[in-house]
Amino acid sequence: MANEVCLVNEMTKRELVLLKLGGSLITHKDRPFTPDMKTIERLAREIRNARKERDFDLILGHGGGSFPHFPAKKYQTHKGMIHKKSPRGFAETQDAAARLNRLVVTALLNAGENAVSVSPSSCSISKHGAISHFFYLQIRLMLKHGLLPVVYGDPVMDTHRGCSILSTEARRRGRNRRRHDSREHTPNPHRQKARSHPNPLAAMTPNL
């Protein structure tokens, strides 16, 4: 499944599209660590052609499908640092998510896009499984300079559980909590207004 949300980039004053590619679309979910390369490459070409036809900024998000799902399930990474093998589970889940992301980014590069990875585990923190901090400035600057940020489902450190997995639902809860406590949560510097979706950050952030 692919979902699209259209916003306005306050920095460039151009249309900003948030496009999410589901993990079941770009991998074979019943076969561990198996990408659907034909679909990934086709989507990369379609994205490039669309951006040639119409000038707009794009943030791409994708799910992990069969890549992080299996180690995350094996080690119960979504529950946190619950046993002595949890650090290993976090590392293997992150590695699997990143490997799929590199395949997506490479396909976009081959199609002619200036795509770059944005790893949530490197710029996000959650609390009780819900995102509490997300460093947006790098995405803002990437868009300003004509890059295509590619974010993806990823395990992150959690101030309560030790770790959690960043999913669409967690991102939705984090966005709602930022409305009530601006001191704890980093605001979105784009200050975007959704035109077609009540929850653009959730649409942007993929499920594993």
CA distance readout (Å), 72 to 24, 26, 166: 16, 18, 12
User: How confident is the model at residue 45, as a pLDDT?
Assistant: 98
135 or 94: which carries more pLDDT confidence? 94
**68-112: per-residue pLDDT in tens?**
999 999 999 999 999 999 999 999 999 999 999 999 999 999 999
Domain boundaries, the chain: 2-204
Percent of the chain scoring above 90 in pLDDT: 68
Smallest CA-to-CA distance from 67 within 168, 149, 158, 153 is with 153
DSSP string, 169-184: HHHHHHHHHHHH-TTT
Q: How far is CA 89 from the centre of its chain?
A: 20
169 or 147: which carries more pLDDT confidence? 147
Cβ atoms of 97 and 155 closer than 8 Å: yes
Q: What is the DSSP letter of 78?
A: G
The CATH number that domain 2-204 falls under is: 3.40.1160.10
Q: Worst-scoring range by mean pLDDT, 56-65, 170-179, 198-207?
A: 198-207
